[in-house]
Amino acid sequence: MRRGERLVGQGVQTIQSNGVTVGTQATTNFSTGPGLLSLTSDTGSAIDVLWALDTAVNQTQPGEQSGAALWCDSNSASGTAYACSMTPTAGAYTTGMTLHWRPDVTATGGPTTLNIDTLGATPVKLADGTSDPTPSDIVAGRLCDIWFDGVEFRLAPTTAAAVGAVSDTRVNGILYRSAPAWGRPRPRTKMSGPFFCQDTANTAGAYACNLTPAIGGVRQRDHLLV
């Protein structure tokens, strides 16, 4: 035997990764990074290595479909100081986090807080980040989409009125383009322009309306505001 040669069967292996040699050692160690699991077993004739996702860290399609990762169900019995818990337990409030929250009690109105997984009571505001929610904004059993802006939780707007849309029938300051009416404020009934169709039949179950301009026919996926 010449110098530099190794005996076959001594257990020394050359380890490669994607064709690139990592090293030559007698021991091969399998380890995983965050979000992965390594399951190894000795079958008697071979060593089996199984890689799998750690579902405690990684979202899966069934998990996404169930909505469980973002679900937070209240059990506080309070209309001003809510509390809820998540699965798995939330570790911190982070800017931009979004949750599906179900309150157990209708809001009293006024200053309101939410404490998630005992991380601390945090103000809950409307979408503008300033206004306190009213009893009509937080209703027992109704799903509320909320997000954390770094300081407080904000309720996602559920209607156009929640973000300052027109709520009266008089002339407003929003411009509407309609031939000679270009650049003029319009009533809210004309805010949707070509999609708005006012009923003229005044008969329950038999409605009629006219569009401006008139349409030539009804097609799949057409939608109107009646």
24-36: per-residue pLDDT in tens? 888 878 778 787 8
C-alpha closest to that of 48 among 60, 58, 39: 39
Q: Is the pLDDT of residue 93 over 50?
A: yes
Higher-pLDDT residue of 117 and 174 is 117
Residue 20 lies in a domain: no
- Judgement on whether residues 111 and 179 belong to the same structural domain of the protein: no
- Calculate the average pLDDT of the chain: 77
Residue 11 lies in a domain: no
Residue 104 lies in a domain: yes
- Judgement on whether residues 183 and 148 belong to the same structural domain of the protein: no
- Judgement on whether residues 137 and 218 belong to the same structural domain of the protein: no
- Judgement on whether residues 216 and 173 belong to the same structural domain of the protein: yes
pLDDT of residue 187: 52
Total structural domains in the chain?
Answer: 2
Residue 9 lies in a domain: no
Residue 82 lies in a domain: yes
pTM assigned to the model: 0.52
Strand spans (E) along 140-190: 144-148, 153-155, 175-176, 184-185
- Judgement on whether residues 146 and 187 belong to the same structural domain of the protein: no
Q: Which domain holds residue 104?
A: 61-161
